[in-house]
Structure 1
């Protein structure tokens, strides 16, 4: 340690020794007691404040549509003691839950107000809280009955896989159709429901993803959220050599191809690598298509391959050929 640092440390120690820690601790003790008594006094007093409580509508029948927009929150003027007020500011408030089916079945006017509304509001607050007023004071549940039909669901999003992975089968939508509720003219024009146009990237394993349905004005879909199963698998590249065949060749002719074999390159899922067999592949040239040809080489086409291979290519794509007559013995 340098002399300057040692000198500073000596001065700090000297300063700390001069402090009367007994007096500081005594003072701190009385400050804590005073603060405690002050908080107790505050907690026992009553205060007024305004709060916002979110509204959640439950048990909404699928076959109805509301003619008026429903409020998403209610503004309350309340009175309570300091302890409860403290909880209002630092604790998540309860949601006001309104049972729509119960309300529209029990009220001929389809309006929530008065003592019935008070009862629902009271459930969202502590028992000690006094409700001074709230806004809105009434909610109208006037509705119209909707027609409905089942429509097919189309996935309109985009799935981007990580490098080295591909889809080993089709994407599956669960469910594959949804119920649509709307006025008859709107329903008659509706042919399909679509998921939202969203993009999911970086998938490297099987995944079930939730997608919302794209909204259509005047139409309600049930369910509003569907699942998309994405079957993902790592792939590898493989090559096989296959002899070129000639289809519809007359019995009195032989044909020679140059080269006689072609290489097939393809991608396959790692789970299917052991299933690959040479006999599952075939490549051919049709005699009827080349017998009058004056070209030096002709294209080779793939006549069979396993369904689980991807991006199948031929090398070379064309081969040369020559016909020869078979030797016949004269009896």
Structure 2
């Protein structure tokens, strides 16, 4: 340690030795006592303040629409002691929950006000709190009944799979239909319920995606959330070689095809590649329409294949043909 550093530490030690710690501790003790007494006085004193309480409406029937907009929060002027005020400012306020079904089903009175309204508000406040006033002073639940219509759900989106993967099955929408509520005129314009438009990329495993239904003016959907199940599988390419048949060939003719066999290439999921057989496929040309044809070759078409294979291609795509009578040969020229 250098001489300069030693001198600095020496001065610091001398400074702290000169401090009257006993006086400081005594002063701090009395400050603490005064602070406690001040808080006790504040807590016992009544204060007024304005608070904002959110409103949550529960059990809202899907088959109705309210004639007036329902408020999302309530402003209250309250009076309470300092301790309660401390909680109002520094703790999360309870939500005012209103059971709508119990109100709309309770006779003809669809307005929440007076003592009934006070009861709902009181449930979200401490017992010691005095309510001076609140806004709004009433909530109207007057409603109109809606018509209903069941609609199939359509996925309005795009799925982009990772390289080397394809859809193993059609996407499934759960539920596949929803109930729409609205006026008869509005419902008559609807044929489907669409999900919100979206694009999902990089899918490489089975996935369930949550989607909201696209909003429609003056229309309510129940439920308004659906799930899209996407079945994804890695694929591989496979090739089989199969004979070409001639359909609708008269009994007195035989057909010679060049080549007589073609190759079928396709993509198949890795879980099914070993179960694929040549006999699962068939290809053919059709004699009907070829009697007067001047073409030297005809396209080959696939007549049967497993439903789980993709991107079928034929090599070669065309074959040449000669039809022969069983007693003599007749060229297509």
TM-score (norm 2): 0.82
Specify the alignment match of 2:201 in structure 1. Answer: 201
Query: Structure 2: which 5+ runs fail to align?
Result: 329-333
Deviations 1:182-208 (A, max 9, x none): 233333443332222233333322222
SS of alignment partner, residue 263 of structure 2? strand
Q: In structure 2, how many angstroms separate the alpha carbons of the residues matched to 1:108 and 1:101?
A: 13
Matched, 1:145 2:145: yes
Specify the alignment match of 2:128 in structure 1. Answer: 128
Specify the alignment match of 1:110 in structure 2. Answer: 110
Specify the alignment match of 2:243 in structure 1. Answer: 243
Contact preservation (8 Å) 2:254, 2:326: yes
Deviations 1:168-224 (A, max 9, x none): 222222222222222333334433322222333333222222222222222222222
> What number of residue pairs does the alignment pair up?
323
Specify the alignment match of 1:100 in structure 2. Answer: 100
Query: Structure 1: which 5+ runs fail to align?
Result: none
Contact preservation (8 Å) 1:282, 1:305: yes
Q: In structure 2, how many angstroms separate the alpha carbons of the residues matched to 1:85 and 1:27?
A: 32
Q: In structure 2, how many angstroms separate the alpha carbons of the residues matched to 1:245 and 1:8?
A: 106
1:11 CA drift (Å): 6.7
Deviations 1:273-317 (A, max 9, x none): 222111101222223444544334332211111000111112222
Specify the alignment match of 1:167 in structure 2. Answer: 167
1:244 CA drift (Å): 2.7
Specify the alignment match of 2:217 in structure 1. Answer: 217
Q: In structure 1, how many angstroms separate the alpha carbons of the residues matched to 2:107 and 2:255?
A: 91
Specify the alignment match of 2:182 in structure 1. Answer: 182
Q: In structure 2, how many angstroms separate the alpha carbons of the residues matched to 1:164 and 1:33?
A: 74
1:58 CA drift (Å): 1.3
Which sits farther off after the overlay, 67-76 or 11-20?
11-20
* Compared CA separation, residues 266 and 17, structure 1 to 2 (3 A): farther
Q: In structure 2, how many angstroms separate the alpha carbons of the residues matched to 1:126 and 1:261?
A: 87
SS of alignment partner, residue 20 of structure 1? helix
Which sits farther off after the overlay, 117-126 or 78-87?
78-87
1:29 CA drift (Å): 6.1
Specify the alignment match of 1:255 in structure 2. Answer: 256
